[in-house]
Chain A
Amino acid sequence: MRGEQGAAGARVLQFTNCRILRGGKLLREDLWVRGGRILDPEKLFFEERRVADERRDCGGRILAPGFIDVQINGGFGVDFSQATEDVGSGVALVARRILSHGVTSFCPTLVTSPPEVYHKVVPQIPVKSGGPHGAGVLGLHLEGPFISREKRGAHPEAHLRSFEADAFQDLLATYGPLDNVRIVTLAPELGRSHEVIRALTARGICVSLGHSVADLRAAEDAVWSGATFITHLFNAMLPFHHRDPGIVGLLTSDRLPAGRCIFYGMIADGTHTNPAALRIAHRAHPQGLVLVTDAIPALGLGNGRHTLGQQEVEVDGLTAYVAGERPDPLGPRSQPACQVAHDPPRACPLCSQGTKTLSGSIAPMDVCVRHFLQATGCSMESALEAASLHPAQLLGLEKSKGTLDFGADADFVVLDDSLHVQATYISGPVLAGCGDPAWCWRAVWEAPVCPAHPISVILPSSVSPWPWHTPMWQTRAVRLPEQLRGGWASGALLALRTATVGSDVRDWCSPTSGVIVLTFSPFEFWGGWLPSPLLTGAVLGTGGTRLALPLFSSLCCKAQLRKCLQVQRDRMVWAPPVGREQPGKNHLPGQGLA
């Protein structure tokens, strides 16, 4: 655990030339760190009369507290709800991989599962500090099985339970010992829920309302009993009605205990909630908004079938559905309404196949933050606080996490102006084998810069006979390695809206694979394949995102496309809807920005 590492003698690091998020504002200040904590430089100056041992120039970037994800079901192929022998290594893998998304602490989430799974898995995931090995585990989030049947969403019906018989004892019998548990999601309309909520709150476990058909009254009573969180607002609850707002009404309820702030999780991936709904919630109660990913094990992987708890889900484009029949290969049409669970399904030739129940999201946390910023038009500080400070406040950790105040743990991310993660810092114990008793401290993850493998960008309009102009929205140009360019000199096109060009790109960028272009076509209503002598395009229109994929049919086959997509899944660009694209820079061949 983090301890006082002989604080007076430890090295002092000073991060200069940066803007830090402090007190709800981005201040032009230096960040001082010592012994894994944020240091007050004034005390250092006047009392200890010391200067920094090391200065790091941040290049004018933003330093924000590390993101805290309180709802993540797995990722990178790991499913937290699977009762394997070695759950710990799965958690460790996810903890390590989400560092690149800027997450420094998280709550692994278990979906509705049979009691045997809980008894096996829960003891294997202890609370753990973060460090170079990965993000810190703050405790488990148990979502279900005490939820409503009608609003179970992707949770398997067979394992739903109630605690009518024995209230808290039922809960203990289902979950086992609650030492590692931090949040429990339940439906307040179930019988004897108030006893359970009170018992859980008394143990310091945060109770969340979700997957419920409760009305506003029941929800308010639950808050009086001790509930403080709403699991993914709008999803898996009754919709807002002007005479009975349901759980959504808690955001503006005046019947809550004085001084109590109700927090609510939102999945800001453009699919789970319409941006307009996101804005309504944000404007009604901005201080309570907590950004969560609700990520499924398919996070970081590609299209195809994956397991989530006891269910099979299907990843298609940027959304995940409960696996039913395979949907039409052309993909859903551009109308976003098709992808949202609705009943009855709208008359749409493409929508009637497969189930359309959403099953968790695969948008990483930094993508959620960016989408939230763009959708609500809020300030950068609000967006960053929604991902860091508010979850910390929910869990009662705002003194040490989610903030860059003096004395807080030094978990922070370095972001550029478009909120892409450049580096993640977590303070941890001194690295083993390091002879210097002071900190050997470096970023636990840094956006890799690989000068040896740059990739070039050439706009489609510059080489193709296609008349339309495709604006590239904030893309970064990178240069292709020399030896790979020959085959596609006639117009290899690649655009990655990401600041990181790293080993993942190296993996798939081989002479036999084609080059994938992600552009923003204003013609997404075309759908399907766009015939062209040089280019073929597959338009995947989903939710708030539009991706047109022109690719060389002669050079690239679908299998490789899929493989490429798998790797680039978490780097997909989120395009604005038609009519709101912003003109980007036109990069001509050879003009890489690297």
Chain B
Amino acid sequence: MKLIILEHYSQASEWAAKYIRNRIIQFNPGPEKYFTLGLPTGLPRDHPESYHSFMWNNFFKHIDIHPENAHILDGNAVDLQAECDAFEEKIKAAGGIELFVGGIGPDGHIAFNEPGSSLVSRTRVKTLAMDTILANARFFDGELTKVPTMALTVGVGTVMDAREVMILITGAHKAFALYKAIEEGVNHMWTVSAFQQHPRTVFVCDEDATLELKVKTVKYFKGLMLVHNKLVDPLYSIKEKETEKSQSSKKPYSD
């Protein structure tokens, strides 16, 4: 695990963005080679708060991704389980997830895998815990009745199959979940802790999220920042073919 601790939310976001950028460039995707970015999904599409709108406004409209390469779970499908199974098939067909980017809930869940989810679960329909509904109420004008109670989500097992996982944790309200995920054992009550058994995990957090960690842990990982920052050094532009040769000299750091 790499724990990246930065001062503020904006710095954490920037570090994560640069890391993703570097990973995409190193992977050198092409027409046949997909860089699969996994993200947690859920709500019905035509809702303004749906993930479709969220992903469009915050991601897709700013990049030149082809619409056919964007797959979002459709909460309006007739047969939800078949939709989930098809999603798993699509992941397999694309060659597996290269990098999974996700957040963490205050109850330590990854995607919508609430406490008690199996650590080997796959994409499925999940009932949301009260905590999650409360957390999401801010998107629905604070009205609890409007928040959906079910969501389609990738399973913990699905995420564990990804070749690399990056979790973003910011804010003091996530501090306890981070503590449970890192410093305690693997536990299905804190599903993020499953990533202790993943070969390549990166946790990016800000200072506030480390409030519950041991000082020793924080100091240790802060000391490693010098090395970790090399991961986000700018690489050449993917469009500069002449510098392709230099790719071999920049190997991704791994522990």
Contacts and interface: CB of A to CB of B under 8 A. Distances in A.
A46 B61 contact: no
A45 B72 CA distance: 12
B68 A45 contact: no
Contact of B68 (A29, A42, A44, A49): A49
A51 B67 contact: yes
Contact of B67 (A29, A30, A50): A50
B52 A46 contact: yes
Contacts of A265: none
B215 interface: no
Interface in A47-61: 48-51
A407 to B, nearest CB: 16
B45 interface: yes
A41 interface: yes
Contact of B61 (A41, A48, A49): A41
Interface in A14-45: 29-30, 41-42, 44-45
Nearest to B52: A46
Contacts of B64: 51
A42 B67 contact: no
Q: Is the interface of A mostly helix, strand, loop or mixed?
A: helix
A30 B61 contact: yes
26 contacts: A29-B61, A30-B61, A41-B56, A41-B61, A42-B53, A42-B56, A42-B57, A42-B61, A44-B67, A45-B56, A45-B60, A45-B61, A45-B67, A46-B45, A46-B52, A46-B56, A46-B67, A46-B70, A46-B72, A48-B67, A49-B67, A49-B68, A50-B67, A51-B64, A51-B66, A51-B67
Contacts, number: 28
Nearest to A44: B67
A30 B72 CA distance: 23
Interface string B49-73: 0001100110011001011101010
Contacts of A30: 61
A508 B45 CA distance: 60
Contacts of A41: 56, 61
- Complex A-B, nearest 8 residue pairs according to Cβ-Cβ distance, in ascending order: A49-B67, A42-B56, A45-B67, A49-B68, A46-B52, A45-B60, A45-B56, A51-B66
Contacts of B67: 44-46, 48-51
Contacts of B60: 45
Interface string B15-57: 0000000000000000000000000000001000000110011
B66 to A, nearest CB: 6
Contacts of B70: 45-46
Give the interface centre of A30, A41, A45 by most chain B CB atoms within 10 Å.
Answer: A45
A384 B67 CA distance: 34
Nearest to A41: B61
Nearest to B56: A42
Nearest to B64: A51
B203 to A, nearest CB: 31
Contacts of B57: 42
A41 B61 CA distance: 8
A52 to B, nearest CB: 10
Give the interface centre of A30, A42, A46, A51 by most chain B CB atoms within 10 Å.
Answer: A46
Given A30-B61, A45-B67, A46-B67, 6 more contacts: A29-B61, A42-B56, A45-B56, A45-B70, A46-B72, A51-B67
A51 B70 CA distance: 12
A46 B53 CA distance: 10
Contacts of B53: 42
Contacts of A51: 64, 66-67
A146 B13 CA distance: 66
A502 B67 CA distance: 42
Contacts of A45: 56, 60-61, 67, 70
Nearest to A32: B61
Contacts of A29: 61
Nearest to A50: B67
Contacts of B56: 41-42, 45-46
Interface in A95-118: none
A22 to B, nearest CB: 13
Contacts of B45: 46
A44 B60 CA distance: 12
Contacts of B66: 51
Contacts of B52: 42, 46
A51 to B, nearest CB: 6
A264 B173 CA distance: 52
B220 to A, nearest CB: 42
B1 to A, nearest CB: 35
Contacts of A50: 67
A594 B72 CA distance: 50
A42 B53 CA distance: 7
B77 to A, nearest CB: 13
Contacts of B61: 29-30, 41-42, 45
A44 B57 CA distance: 13
A42 B54 CA distance: 10
Interface string A427-464: 00000000000000000000000000000000000000
